[in-house]
Structure 1
Amino acid sequence: MTPDQTDDAGALRHLLTLDRLPRAAIESLLDRAAHFAAGHDAREALAGVAVCTLFFEPSTRTRLSFQLAAQRLGADVLSFDASTSSTTKGETAHDTLKTIEAMGVRGFVVRDKRDGAVAELAAVANRGTALVNAGDGRSAHPTQGLLDMLTLRQAKGADFSRLKVVIVGDVLHSRVARSDLHALRALGAAEIRVCGPASLLPSDGTLDGCVVSHDLDAALDGVDAAMMLRLQRERMDDGLVASLDDYHRDFGLTAARLRRAAPDAVVLHPGPMNRGVEITDEVADGAQSLILRQVGNGVAVRMAVLEALLGRR
């Protein structure tokens, strides 16, 4: 069970998922992130606060952007590396958290390969300790969802009521896709399309309310944004994808295919990209690509989240 993310006054205690997070809370975080993205800072917001990036799974973009975000807010930053920690000696994640808490750390950014792992830690954390889910299993990646929404807002405006978005690829195993779906629903997107091979689309209610397709050409017709997902190559070993060539033929975004979208459509990808598989170089590096802007927005969004959780403590 996911612990409450807000206190009795409605303020954020943790950020574990965007699922059922109120629209007003999401918009407030996006507004603050836009402030930071515009070049404003808050160097003393977290002065004297210690933040630990507690990663039990590899990461580049997420870890570095959280560290940079915390530093820009004036926090003391500790970087935890599971491969060189006491977890290699059998220490549990619970004991690791409590040990670092005992040092006076009150902010934890956690990534774990297990679904629900971050919520489990939030449930045992001390009062006044805040946890941010930096990706758990295939469940959620809320700050990625927020930075994708900020990128869309910058390109398309804050009113999503006419926005048509397609999410393409391995939704079944994607925590990014789930957080994007939660956010797009909360913000009132006009139409959410999902496209991918049947073997890579969930059948558990995740896609309720979406227009589901296995035909990328049709799914791209008139959309305002295409959000491409990384094809996890291990899915070939699982027998879920016949070959990389087949996947690219059916679900790879090319410049020719992109012309089916609205003329001012934008392209997003959470990275890392498999160039020539889910996206071509021409699209990834083209004028309609906002992929590098997403990376930059990650710092601004994570500043907004850390400030909201820890700035008043």
Structure 2
Amino acid sequence: MRHVQFAEDGRLRHLITLDGVSRQELEALIETALALRQTALRPVNKLPTLRGRTVVNLFFEPSTRTRTSFELAAVRLSADVVNFDVAHSSTKKGETLIDTLRTLEAMRCDLFVVRHKENGTPALLAEHAQPGVAIVNGGDGNHAHPTQGLLDMLTIRRHKGEDFSKLSVAVIGDILHSRVARSDIQALKTLGVQDLRLAAPAELLAPELRAFGQVFDRIDHAIAGADVIMMLRLQKERMDQALIASDADYFRQWGLSQERLALAKPDAIVMHPGPMNREVEIASSVADGPQSVILEQVGNGVPMRMAVMSRLLAG
């Protein structure tokens, strides 16, 4: 994937995955997002960085947080935004994705945020993009969600400081179907996390990710003494068959309750990429409690996506 993401001079040209992105690049994006986050607190929160540029949200899957966040990020950088209406587009008439890209490139669009159910779709478009056109992966299948991974790192950085090597981070839930988990795990390892814990039912643990951290078959053991707890949504829409007995049974075995949270460090933070299934993977009392940074994650999506778009289009 590196040859797709990077120009010959090493500059980040597209953002398809966090796999292969250097620690220096990750830290630069986080620092830029921290600075841009302050802009959001000003009475006038727009910057002229991308004035005259056009950003297209090319979403083939439903989205609330990601799509809105990218739109706000582009607007706050003074870019024009086009929200591509897939349901009423020529893709329904048989037009290929490459032809759709070519058509929109001909209208002088500069950056495409692509969400698709199939792994590899953003990478495919990146391979065919014209020089000067950037592709950002807004989530593809269970492969990657790089900007979610970045905003999660921004959130951890704000609460736990610059040194990730001292942190104990637990990633819990439906890891098998989670593109967020893959991007988070890649970023956490690149940033130096040594104590990375992966906890999931056996049927929901991705085998290829075992090498990245210590695997637990019980949530209580994974949470004990953790600094950061990252809960994942149970993605039933991506399951070919029922892999859990019931929502209630899943919560009993794998849900994050107040009692289980007490096993973590007193200042541990609780994260979730959303949308949440309350009382399935996380209790409402935890999701809305003082250790939850879930809404902050949502808010951090705007400055982080501003940082990514600025990096790709403005250098």
Q: Specify the TM-score bucket, using the shorter chain as the normaliser.
A: over 0.9
Aligned partners of 1:37 and 1:287: how far apart in 2? 22
Q: 1:293 aligns with which of 274, 293, 296?
A: 296
Name the CA distance, whole Å, in 1 between partners of 2:100 and 2:196: 40
CA distance in 2, matches of 1:67, 1:94: 23
Alpha-carbon shift at residue 92 of structure 1 (Å): 1.3
- State whether structure 2 residue 96 is matched by structure 1 residue 107: no
Gaps of 5+ in 1: none
1:206-231 CA-to-partner distances (Å, cap 9, x unmatched) read 23131101111111100001000001
Once the two structures are superposed, residues 248-302 of structure 1 have per-residue CA deviations (whole angstroms, 9 ceiling, x without a partner) of: 0000000010000001000000000000100011000000000000000000100
**Displacement of 1:190 after TM fit?**
2.3
Report deviation, 1:38: 2.0
Structure 2: unaligned runs, 5 residues or longer: none
- Read off the aligned partner of 1:35 and give its amino acid letter: A
In the alignment, is residue 213 of structure 1 matched against residue 206 of structure 2? Answer: no
Higher helix share: 2
Aligned to 1:130: 134
The reply on whether 1:183 has 2:171 as its aligned counterpart is: no
Q: Deviations over 1:52-89 (max 9, x none)?
A: 01111111100000000000001011110211211111
Q: Which amino acid aligns with 1:37?
A: R
1:49 aligns with 2:53: yes
Which residue number corresponds to residue 150 of structure 1?
A: 154
Contact 1:2 1:119 in 2 (8 A): no
Code of the aligned partner of 2:265: A
Which deviations, in whole Å up to 9, do the C-alpha atoms of 1:177-217 show, x marking residues without a partner?
000000000000121101110000011x2231311011111
Query: What is aligned with 1:274?
Result: 277
Change (3 A) 1:237 1:136: closer
Identify the residue that residue 73 of structure 1 maps to in structure 2.
77
CA distance in 2, matches of 1:257, 1:239: 26
What CA deviation, in whole Å up to 9, does each residue of 1:119-149 have, x standing for no partner? 0000001011100000001000000000000
Distance in 1 of aligned mates of 2:239 and 2:23: 38
Q: Residue 304 of structure 1 aligns with which residue?
A: 307
Alpha-carbon shift at residue 9 of structure 1 (Å) = 2.9
Q: 2:262 aligns with which of 244, 259, 282?
A: 259
Q: 1:175 to 1:235 in 2, by over 3 A?
A: closer
Using the alignment, how far apart are the partners of 2:239 and 2:70 within structure 1? 32
8 Å Cα contact 2:115-2:139 kept in structure 1: yes
Alpha carbons 1:15, 1:133 under 8 Å: kept: yes
Provide the secondary structure at the position in 1 that maps to 2:244: coil
Range with greater deviation from structure 2 (82-91 or 229-238):
229-238
State the identity %. 55
8 Å contact kept, 1:47–1:74:
yes
Q: Find the residue that maps to 1:135 and give its secondary structure.
A: strand
Contact preservation (8 Å) 2:29, 2:304: yes
Q: What does 1:194-205 align with in structure 2 at a 5 Å threshold?
A: 194-203=198-207, 205=208
Q: Which residue of 1 aligns with 2:175?
A: 171
Q: 2:120 aligns with which of 110, 116, 139?
A: 116
Contact 2:4 2:126 in 1 (8 A): no
Aligned to 1:84: 88
**Number of residue pairs the alignment of both structures matches:** 311
The residue that corresponds to 1:32 in the other structure is 32
CA separation of 1:95 and 1:2: change in aligned 2, threshold 3 A? farther
1:160 correspondence with 2:164? yes
Question: Structure 1 residue 42: deviation in Å?
Answer: 5.9
Distance in 1 of aligned mates of 2:95 and 2:18: 30
Give the aligned residue type for 1:263: P
3-state SS in 1 of match to 2:248:
helix
Q: Normalized against structure 1, the TM-score is what? A: 0.97
Q: Does the CA-based 8 Å contact 1:3-1:119 persist in structure 2? A: no
User: Is 2:243 the partner of 1:240?
Assistant: yes
CA distance in 2, matches of 1:114, 1:236: 14
Q: Distance in 2 between matches of 1:16 and 1:234?
A: 23
In structure 2, the CA distance between the partners of 1:274 and 1:71, relative to structure 1 (3 Å rule), is: same
**TM-score for the superposition, normalised by structure 2:** 0.96
2: CA distance, partners of 1:6 / 1:161: 27
CA distance in 1, matches of 2:191, 2:226: 17
Per-residue deviation, 1:239: 2.6
Whether the 8 Å CA contact 1:236–1:243 is kept in 2: the answer is no
